[in-house]
Structure 1
Amino acid sequence: MSYSIIGFGNIGHALAKAFARNGIKVSVATTRDPQSFASDAAAIGPTIIPKTLAEALKADIIFLAVRFESHPEVAKALASWQGKTIVDVTNAYGVPPEKLGGQPSSKFVAQAFSGAKLVKGFNHLVAAVLDQDPAVHGGRRVVFLASDDDDAAAEIGVLAENLGFAPIKLGGLSEGGLLVQARGNSWGQLIFKDLVKFD
């Protein structure tokens, strides 16, 4: 299984650190030349590999960690997303619900990535919290996952555990997705909730 993170801002960095902590190889890409952020990637760890967008999109599991407004640009990079799992880490705060056709933001994103399985996840924590080691006081920091594809949600759940998090599945995008999305000037009820699960 291969992984990539598209977008290398604060959230992209935080996700890359989670992979690095666990020695898991992940490609990172932006629309810029990989050389421009190679030293940033190297500073996080040897398993963080800077790549071009085209190369990074060859991964099986792709974390979409760009600004919400930039997702259509990324979606245009491949004619078909068949066989890919997209983890939607975007937040559509400030985007009017009518621009989303009244749908949950992740449903709107899923339409752009035609053929992909989409899981909403890792977006409810601010970068500074996501950046920290998820092992907290003997427990694990919670990440919420929502998807209309149970297999994809299970697959990302296993990855979240491998990264040290405690995944909690919220159901489909129209139900669970609403709890962890931003739209217009409102945030879902679970956004910013920093929870720890004790086994």
Structure 2
Amino acid sequence: MSYAIVGFGAVGQALAWAFARRNIKVAVAGRRPPEALAPQARAIGPTVVAKSLRDALEADTIILAVPFGEHRGVAKALPSWKGKTVIDAMNALVPVEELDGLLSSAFVAKAFTGAKFVKGFNHLIAATLAADPIVEGGHRVVFLASDDEDAIAPVATLAKQLGFAPVNLGRLNEGGALVHARGRTWGQLIFQDLVKKEQ
């Protein structure tokens, strides 16, 4: 399984730290060319490799960590998303009217036709996401939601490999609504830093 993070701002870099900590190879791409991102990527760890957007999208699993709205440009970079898993780590700080009455991930998913689409890694602030997830005798929780049941399992496996405790909230418009930002409102689980104690 190959991974890429698209967006190399605070959240993208935080996720890159999570991959580097576990020596898992991940491509990173952003607005700037790869040669401009390379020094930051190398500073995080040798398994973090800066690539062009086109090259990064060759990965099996792509984590969206771009500012909301820029996902459309990412979606247009591939003619088909079939066979790809897309993890939406964005939060939509836009008026509800701009989302066609949908939750943000359901809105974003429409642009990635054919992809397995999962909401995840979006409820923690970047500094917390970047920190070691093994704390207080347990693992920091990440919430996952998807309308595709088959898509959750491999993302949950990735979360565990990164040291997190994945919690499946179910469908996007059910449990997933708890981790969505819409307009000026936040889902009830946004910013909740929970730890699952080891049994």
* TM-superposed deviation, 1:22: 0.3
Could you tell me how far 1:79 is from its partner in structure 2?
1.1
- Partner of 1:26 in structure 2? 26
> Structure 1, residues 25-74: CA drift from partner, whole Å, max 9, x if none?
00000132100010000000000010000000000000000001211111
- Paired with 2:59 and 2:4, the residues of 1 have a C-alpha distance of 6
1:142 aligns with 2:141: yes
Any gaps of 5 or more consecutive residues in structure 2? none
> In 2, distance between residues paired with 1:31 and 1:148?
29
Matches for 1:31-50 after TM superposition, within 5 Å:
31-50=31-50
TM (norm. structure 2) is 0.98
**What whole-Å deviation, never above 9, does each CA across 1:82-140 have from its counterpart, x for those lacking one?**
000000001002x1111101101000000011110110000000001101000001100
The count of residues paired between Structure 1 and Structure 2 equals 198
- Report runs of 4+ in structure 1 exceeding 6 Å deviation: none
Task: Report % sequence identity.
Answer: 63
1:31/1:52 contact within 8 Å kept: no
Q: Secondary structure at the match of 1:4?
A: strand
Is 1:89 paired with 2:103? no
The aligned residue for residue 76 of structure 1 is: 76
Match of 2:59 in 1: 59
Could you tell me how far apart the structure 2 residues matched to 1:99 and 1:68 are? 11
RMSD across aligned C-alpha pairs, in angstroms?
0.6
The residue number in structure 2 matching 1:116 is 115
Q: Give the AA of the match of 2:118.
A: V
Aligned counterparts of 2:185 and 2:76: Cα–Cα separation in 1: 28
Q: How does the TM-score come out when normalised to structure 1? A: 0.98
